[in-house]
Amino acid sequence: MSASGEQRNVTSFATSSGDTSRPTGLRAPIVSIASLFGKCSSAPVSTTPAETASELRALGAEPILVRGNVASTRVAEEVGALGPLDVLVHAAATGVIRPALETDDKHWDWTLSANARALLSLTRAAAPQMPAGSSIVGISSLGSVRVLDNYTLVGISKAALEALVRYLAVELAPRGIRVNAVSAGVVETGALEHFPNKEAMLEMGRRNPVGRLVSPEDVAAAVTFLCSPEADMIRGHTLVVDGGRSLLASL
């Protein structure tokens, strides 16, 4: 993210067990990806692709790095060329952190493209080859339904993501592919350094019934569950992981 408040870090994960005939064998790669998601979410913004790949190998997976704009045609084509995937996790985190009147059309296009349209592009590329029992998860945030300072474009993009998840869940259900989302409360990561109201956001995140911030591991556990066979009848759902924060009448 630049000093102007424009973030350009986007990440999505995909994993294959190598055995598309047995969806019940997906748990190990799912746990590996979810564990890495937790580590990467708490890691410095400067974590390199090579370091991420090294962490994946340590968790028992063999990564294939695809570098580029996650919303681009080229990246979608490369993802499609990977072959059958058991899990696709779209965790794009990008946007322009400014009041609505200080944004322009290019900010809108960039944010909506990476955070929402990319999930559709990646799904179009991957879903035709995904086996029954596979799972797609989009990572959202409470800004999709709550108004947060300077979060206009990102919040709108996450609302679009959640709507897309519902439509994809219905369309892909006959193929045996689950589609869900995870919406997390405030998580203390390097991304918060780019918010002018960082301390206020952290304080808001702590004011939940549990009394602590959501951790990257909390989010990873939710992703793991949604990608497991135990979540077979959960479709088009946005699982909120915020310690009960969004339940409170006074925010």
The residues carrying an active-site annotation are 151, 158
Residue from 216, 12, 199 nearest 94 by CA: 12
The string of DSSP codes covering 156-173 is: HHHHHHHHHHHHHHHHHG
DSSP letter at 146?
A: S
> How is residue 16 written in tokens?
């294959």
CB 148 within 8 A of CB 192: no
Find the Cα–Cα–Cα–Cα dihedral 115, 5, 109, 103, rounded to 10°. 130
User: Tokens at residue 23, please?
Assistant: 């969806």
Contacts of 201 (CB under 8 A, 6+ apart): 148, 186, 192, 195
> What radius of gyration, in Å, describes the C-alpha atoms of the chain?
17
